[in-house]
């Protein structure tokens, strides 16, 4: 049986479903460089410098989630050369615990991309830990560090597969559950969640003039009724749901959720026949902000 719970992208160890760690591999300024140019940078995993870009120190940015749990991001702080030399000199020595840094945030961390370029300080709290960021009073960084943040707002922006489910926005109106082990990506305008043995493709269509929820679903699912091994139709408040499943090269599940204004189409492909229940869960999780649901 496929294990759908992912491991750490760096070491492969199981991820903590309560307290996550997310690593920014390089400062954002490195992303436009060729791999060969990146490799010419001085330093290692925690200290880096390129003459035309500057010097950087990796720091920690812990974010508290509403309802419990946290995400700790490793974020690069851009510092001047004197601070970088000092950090390198004390990095593995007892003096490291007294290290204090001042610089600028060097990564645009979602859902707060405006953090990049903000002034920040950093200090060491433990001899075996990276320095922790602190924000200037009144800054966005100070808010990010000091407040609790909506769980789905934060976790849905993490591209790495997670060890728990999260509600993922698809459009401003539609969202659905991205289950444990699936990483999100955009495939030419189609939202895709993918992981071992499971793939979800999500598309949203506006309701054509003159169509009803029922007629739109019938048009989008044309031909499936004759080929499918099973089907479901459900009324969920203002949502009309319909689903069809069959087996070809994969086990295929085609689900629809329709309102008076649009239709969400979700296609689930799964290797394990027993994952039909999972596909139904994903389909039923689709919600529309303008539709009333049955409690």
pTM of the model: 0.86
- In the CATH scheme, what architecture does the domain 165-288 have? 3-Layer(aba) Sandwich (3.40)
Q: Return left, alpha or beta for 117; rule: phi > 0 is left, psi -120 to 50 is alpha, else beta.
A: left
Domain boundaries along the sequence of the chain: 19-151, 165-288
Q: What is the DSSP letter of 292?
A: -
pLDDT in tens, 151-172: 999 999 999 999 999 999 999 9
- The more confidently predicted of residues 10 and 224 is 224
- E-only strand ranges, 146-238: 148-149, 166-169, 174-178, 183-187, 190-195, 198-206, 230-236
Supply 235's token pair: 């009324």
**15 has a pLDDT exceeding 90:** no
What's the pLDDT at 295?
Answer: 36
**9 has a pLDDT exceeding 90:** no
pLDDT in tens, 56-114: 999 999 999 999 999 999 999 999 999 999 999 999 999 999 999 999 999 999 999 99
Burial of 86 (0-12, 13-18, 19+ CB in 10 A): middle
What's the pLDDT at 18?
Answer: 67
């Amino acid at each position: 049986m496929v294990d759908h719970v992912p491991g750490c992208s760096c070491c492969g160890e199981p991820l903590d479903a309560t307290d996550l760690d997310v690593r920014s591999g390089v400062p954002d300024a490195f992303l436009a460089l060729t791999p060969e140019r990146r490799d010419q940078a001085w330093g290692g995993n925690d200290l880096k410098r390129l003459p035309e870009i500057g010097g950087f120190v990796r720091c920690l940015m812990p974010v508290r989630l509403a309802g419990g749990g946290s995400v700790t991001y490793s974020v690069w702080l851009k510092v001047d050369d004197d601070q970088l030399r000092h950090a390198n000199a004390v990095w593995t020595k007892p003096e490291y615990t007294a290290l204090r840094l001042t610089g600028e945030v060097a990564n645009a961390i979602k859902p707060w991309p405006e953090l990049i370029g903000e002034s920040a300080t950093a200090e060491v709290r433990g001899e075996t830990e990276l320095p922790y960021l602190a924000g200037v009073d009144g800054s966005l960084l100070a808010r990010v560090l000091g407040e609790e943040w909506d769980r789905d707002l934060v976790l849905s922006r993490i591209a790495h597969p997670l060890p728990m489910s999260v509600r993922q926005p698809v459009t401003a109106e539609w969202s659905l559950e991205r289950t444990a082990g699936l990483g999100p990506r955009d495939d030419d305008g189609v939202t895709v969640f993918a992981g071992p043995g499971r793939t979800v493709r999500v598309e949203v269509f506006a309701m054509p003039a003159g169509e009803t929820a029922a007629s739109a679903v019938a048009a989008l699912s044309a031909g499936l009724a004759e080929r499918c091994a099973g089907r479901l139709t459900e009324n969920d408040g203002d949502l009309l749901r319909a689903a069809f499943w069959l087996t070809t090269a994969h086990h295929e599940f085609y689900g629809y959720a329709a309102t008076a204004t649009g239709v969400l189409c979700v296609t689930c492909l799964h290797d394990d026949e027993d994952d039909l229940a999972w596909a139904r869960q994903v389909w039923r999780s689709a919600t529309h902000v303008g539709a009333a649901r049955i409690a």
